[in-house]
Amino acid sequence: MRAVVVEQWGGPEQLVERELARPEPGLNEVLVRVHAAGVNPVDWKTRASGGLIEWGDVPAVGWDVSGTVAAVGPGVGVHRPGDEVYGMPLFPRQAGAYAEYVVAPARHLAPKPTNLTHVEAAALPLAGLTAWQALVDAADVRPGERVLVHAAAGGVGHLAVQIAKARGAHVIGTASAGKHGLLRELGADQVVDYRAVRFEDAVSDVDVVLDGLGGEIAERSLAVLRPGGRLITLPGPDDVPAARDGVRADWVLVEPDHLGLRELTALADRGALRPVVETVLPLGQAAKAHELGERGRTTGKIVLTVV
């Protein structure tokens, strides 16, 4: 099978296409014929240095996948050959989603949303589960609460806006002015141009802040939270500021989640969740996808097509 691997840690040019043996599913595993693979910041961060990821014998790349079940291993009861599925298998172990075939634990996948293409579905798992686990599992966003989403037009952010809105929240997003129209289409009630104004001068009495930036943004976000508010930061535990004034600060690292994927599928199927895909490239242009992503200007997601 064709697969993209890392020749050695470094820049995007280290991503090369190779012929690898097609994997076989073991106990409770499925073999997925990949149609599309999503590209995420963690992909290029681990490509650059290896990161904390547990690599196999061959450093294949990627997690987000949407495709068709090609075969099932012994013990699998939730999927059958021919089923359309999507997911984020094995994270933080490497899954090797930039390939024609991927083996995954059966419950790391879920039925693909019926009204999304494989390209759209491949954009959803890692970013969507990150937003879901942060807003729903960690912050327990409730109807009527005020939710501030930083980098609201990014991969996680634009999905978080929609998930918070579906939970009945009043949603505020920070983004450059050119992205405000899209965010309002996605359900944002208020949008702040972070280039024109400090967000803490425009926003107050917030119940939940989702921070995908870290650093001083996380620290400054404490000032907009009301007593009992929750700050959820994503970059890492070192970016969690000390909680104060009756607010809570936590860090979330996404994990495979069969039930969470099913919740995302339900939202997508009823039209409440739509991934925005800015760029679609063939598998052989994975290096270009990383180059684009590392510029930090992508609205929504970048996706690689495999078939």
Q: Which fold has domain 127-251?
A: Rossmann fold (3.40.50)
- Does the pTM surpass 0.85? The reply is yes
Span 111-132, pLDDT tens digits: 999 999 999 999 999 999 999 9
Read off the amino acid at residue 135: L
Give domain limits for the chain. Answer: 2-124+275-305, 127-251
Read off the amino acid at residue 183: L
Span 80-89, pLDDT tens digits: 999 999 999 9
State whether CATH 3.90.180.10 applies to domain 2-124+275-305.
Answer: yes
273-301 burial, b at 16+ Cβ within 10 Å, e below that, comes to: bbbbbebbbebebbbbbbebbbeeebbbb
* Residue 226: per-residue pLDDT: 95
Distance CA 123, CA 261 (A): 12
Alpha helices in the chain (DSSP H): 41-49, 118-122, 125-132, 155-166, 180-185, 199-202, 216-221, 258-269, 286-294
Pick from 221, 203, 154, 212: which is nearest to 183 by CA? 154
Say if 2-124+275-305 and 127-251 have the same CATH topology. no
Residue with tokens 């980098």: 151
* Residue 58: per-residue pLDDT: 61
Pick from 220, 138, 204, 140: which is nearest to 172 by CA? 204
Distance CA 23, CA 129 (A): 26
- Tell me what the pLDDT averaged over the chain comes to: 94
Read off the amino acid at residue 50: G
Backbone angles phi, psi at 181, to 5 degrees: -60, -45
| Mean pLDDT value across residues 225-253 | 89
* Residue 51: per-residue pLDDT: 64
* Residue 54: per-residue pLDDT: 57
Q: How confident is the model at residue 238 (pLDDT cuts 50, 70, 90)?
A: confident
Span 21-65, pLDDT tens digits: 999 999 999 999 999 999 999 999 889 887 655 556 667 889 999
Instruction: Tell me what percent of the residues of the chain surpass a pLDDT of 90.
Output: 86
* Residue 57: per-residue pLDDT: 62
